[in-house]
Structure 1
Amino acid sequence: MAPKDEEDWSDSDEEVGSDDETAVQLGIPDGSIESPADLRDPMISRIGGHPTFLAAPEPPTEYALCGNCAQPMQLLVQVWCPVEQSPNDRVLYVWACPRGPCQKKDGSVRAWRSLRHNKKYAKKLAQKLAMQKAKEEAETKAAEEAARKSVPKANPFSMKSAGLSNPFDLGAQVFGGGAAASTEPPARAASSEADASSSSGEESDEHDEEDLATRMASATLDGSNWASLPAYEPLYLSTISEYLPPVKKVKVPAGEEYVEEDDGKKSKDTSWALEGYENSIEVDHAFERFTKRVGYEGEQCLRYELGGIPLPFSSDSVFDRLFPKPSAPPPPVTKSAFMVVPAQKRIYNASVLAHCRHCHAPRVFECQLMPNLINVLKTPAAGGATPQQSDEERRQEVLRVLKGERVADRVGMEWGTCMVFSCEKDCAEDGAPVSWREELVEVQWDD
């Protein structure tokens, strides 16, 4: 939906059909996965369950071990997320440890990216790029041809047509000499090829997806070490676009200025505005903004926007690193009873993130897990994770905490959001049938 004209405004934020679409894709739970074929299909994004891999060999189960207790972690999400114009099939996995002593520690949430080179799609992509290049060249040549034909003809009665060579005259171009003599319309031939290939390309896309699904339908985790690891109940992870209500316009008297707070509707806007007076109030404005934004779609468990801007959960050390504080304004030259402090803007700075350990390329934001995911992952699958605590068990735990006793067996994740940052080049291991890369996870904990 196209954004409304900036000159238009409304007294209500509840107008039907007035919402603005952002570039963020929201992942929401969409029911239990009961189909055995879907459980084995890596193209089915999911919440919980056991992981499904693109091809053999399987990765070692050590990839899912907690960096603190070295115990197996549960899969939180598996996301089918191929990159546009890439020849690789691509899946993102995020595991987390629910054990109490591991909360608020590095290594208790891990993310892995798996790539598989798709030969059929790579060939089709190369053909598509070649045809696109040929089409662009044909269009450029046609434009040059049209420009030459639009040049006015020389006057045969002019003295300049006497046959003398004039270095400043149009010369042979006027009479169709040289390159202008070509009459072949290359654009038509290229266009016909492109149309024919486009039709076959769509059929090839469907065939490739069916081929991958067929191969994976015969795959199974039976006899695999992964089948014995703890797991939550598997749920479908569906995606929807994020829509936000338009910013309410405020009428102000003539001569006065109204500063509109950015609500992050344009995901590429990297600024984080804070009014000057807010800095003196003990309120976490990052958290308020987070809850307001998430409140528009409370079921969201995942926010996905490769190369976008993360939505910080609170004003903690992670927020300060990713959105550093601006330099303080210079002191006023003259004394006054009151001084207007301009709004401060925090700019998202991805350069502070550690680069890829393999190709040393910068990392970019890919997705983040949302608090509702913890609520959704309450019921473990049969034979999987530790069951939920009963009301009495929770009451006893609270009593032990109040007494200052250490709760070593406490279970439950305590993060506010987990941000995943991936290699900008989406690097893969040369020659390997499947590549595995561990990506960076920044966790903001729920204090």
Structure 2
Amino acid sequence: MADDDDFSEEEEGLEYMLGFARSPEGGPASLLRHQFPSKMGGRPAWLDPVHLPTRDQLTCQATGQPLNFLLQVYAPLEAEREDAFHRALFLFVTPQGPAVTKPGAVRAFRCQLPRKNPYYSFEPPKPDDLAPPDLPAAAVESSLAADPWRTLEAEPAVAAACKASSAGTGNGTGNGNSSTQGAGSGKPAPNKVSLHLYPELELDVEPEDRETEQEDAALTKLMEDYDSRVESEGELTEEEVPEEVLNQVEENCPIDRKHFAMFQARVSCAPDQVIRYCFRDGASPLWPSPANLPTLADVPPCKRCGAPRKFEFQVMPQLLNHLQQDEMDPAALDWGTIVVYTCSKSCSGPPGGAKYDEEFVWVQPS
């Protein structure tokens, strides 16, 4: 679903949104579900907190092990769809890095709600609404039984810690060091969750500020660095060339190196980006490599309504820097990019149907 000329084509009228992993300015309570966050790590901030994905859905199909929660993106369609006033995408990954490119090792789920729903106020939350609205006891019990992370159990402690912190600082934001991993301590909450929790950070989303001149300058610098070293030191082996220079663009360089250099030049406009998002028609992923790309036939239509799926967002390799992995761990995650394709109609099921629809994921190797 991409070709070698993708980088040279102008995507006229398309604006990509970039996500950056940052400590939440509003403290960890700002990442609870009633704030409709985009975030990575910690526990899932379930949009529908009761009708959760099944245990089978939350299992890695390649290893049979429980998936780890990686991130979620709040992507409402309130201007277009009444039933998707609130809409979020959740991404889960295998705990075994070598399996990450296998089918079912990375799984994505879409959930959406109308503005009037049983879980949240019709109006946006107020600054002092640190905790989500209360749920009936039966709903809480049902959620905890289905949720490996037992998120509803952790929420009160997070809100209480932020309230105590704001009372001490007077700014209402907390110290930014606690998370839904524990009640302000960074330790697991008393529910004894055994799943691995990645560091919890907000995904701060901004429009891409793309300057073609800046990309051209980045490409030119790559070539100049390479030529300068060759002039002073002679031809260099791959082992001697720095990684950023190895991918310089020359007329006779292999297509994969040329492609990656162009990828790097585009990313250099915002090198810390961890996600790229655009649900507009004609949007496409930014591929690090021309190899291992999906064809149209590889991306199946929506199982519910039969509409074709289209690109919605991708996870960049820079996100790996925020996972605090041991680089020597053979199970550590690694990828070139993770691309999520979703139902082009963003269809909703019947009232009593599943609330988390699985979408399609393509993982390009590092």
Q: Which residue of 2 aligns with 1:41?
A: 34
Alignment of 1:225 onto 2:148: yes
Shift of residue 352, structure 1, vs aligned partner: 5.5
Q: Which amino acid aligns with 2:69?
A: L
Partner Cα distance (2:355, 2:330) in 1 = 36
| Distance verdict in 2 for CA 1:39–1:100, change over 3 Å | same
Q: 3-state DSSP class of the match of 2:61? A: coil
Q: Which residue of 1 aligns with 2:291?
A: 316
Residues 250-329 of structure 1 correspond to what in structure 2 (within 5 A)?
278=251, 281-284=253-256, 285-307=258-280, 308-318=283-293, 321-322=294-295
Alignment of 1:429 onto 2:349: yes
Q: Which residue of 2 aligns with 1:239?
A: 205
Partner Cα distance (2:212, 2:287) in 1 = 21
- Residue range with higher mean Cα deviation, 216-225 or 294-303: 216-225
Residues paired across the two proteins, number: 260
Q: Which amino acid aligns with 2:148?
A: N
| Distance verdict in 2 for CA 1:104–1:207, change over 3 Å | closer
Q: Which amino acid aligns with 1:360?
A: G
- How far does the alpha carbon of each residue in 1:116-163 deviate from its partner, in whole angstroms, 9 at most, with x for none? 23337xxxxxxxxxxxxxxxxxxxxxxxxxxxxxxxxxxxxxxxxxxx
Q: Which amino acid aligns with 1:316?
A: A
Shift of residue 246, structure 1, vs aligned partner: 3.7
Alignment of 1:108 onto 2:101: no
Q: Which residue of 1 aligns with 2:76?
A: 82
- How far does the alpha carbon of each residue in 1:151-193 deviate from its partner, in whole angstroms, 9 at most, with x for none? xxxxxxxxxxxxxxxxxxxxxxxxxxxxxxxxxxxxxxxxxxx
Partner Cα distance (1:282, 1:119) in 2 = 55
- How far does the alpha carbon of each residue in 1:28-78 deviate from its partner, in whole angstroms, 9 at most, with x for none? 012158534633436011111111222323332332211111111221111
Partner Cα distance (2:209, 2:316) in 1 = 17
Q: 3-state DSSP class of the match of 1:368? A: strand
Contact (CA 8 Å) 1:22, 1:244: kept in 2 or not?
A: no
Give the counterpart of 1:363 among 284, 309, 322: 309
Partner Cα distance (2:73, 2:344) in 1 = 18
Q: Which residue of 2 aligns with 1:208?
A: 123
| Distance verdict in 2 for CA 1:358–1:366, change over 3 Å | same
Q: Which residue of 1 aligns with 2:23?
A: 31
Q: Which residue of 2 aligns with 1:353?
A: 299
Q: Which residue of 1 aligns with 2:318?
A: 372
Partner Cα distance (1:100, 1:419) in 2 = 17
Contact (CA 8 Å) 2:100, 2:363: kept in 1 or not?
A: no
| Distance verdict in 2 for CA 1:207–1:106, change over 3 Å | closer
| Distance verdict in 2 for CA 1:34–1:214, change over 3 Å | closer
Higher Cα Rg, which structure: 1
- How far does the alpha carbon of each residue in 1:310-365 deviate from its partner, in whole angstroms, 9 at most, with x for none? 111101131xx45xxxxxxxxxxxxxxxxxxxxxxxxxxx5762111111101111
Q: Which amino acid aligns with 1:362?
A: P
Q: 3-state DSSP class of the match of 1:41? A: helix
Q: Which residue of 1 aligns with 2:6?
A: none
Partner Cα distance (1:108, 1:96) in 2 = 6
Unmatched runs of 5 consecutive residues or more in structure 2: 1-11, 151-192, 217-249
Q: Which residue of 1 aligns with 2:173?
A: none
Q: 3-state DSSP class of the match of 1:243? A: coil
Contact (CA 8 Å) 1:366, 1:420: kept in 2 or not?
A: yes
Q: Which residue of 2 aligns with 1:53?
A: 46
Q: Which amino acid aligns with 1:86?
A: R
Q: 3-state DSSP class of the match of 1:313? A: coil
Shift of residue 110, structure 1, vs aligned partner: 0.9
Contact (CA 8 Å) 1:42, 1:52: kept in 2 or not?
A: no
Aligned residues: CA RMSD: 3.2
Residues 91-102 of structure 1 correspond to what in structure 2 (within 5 A)?
91-102=88-99
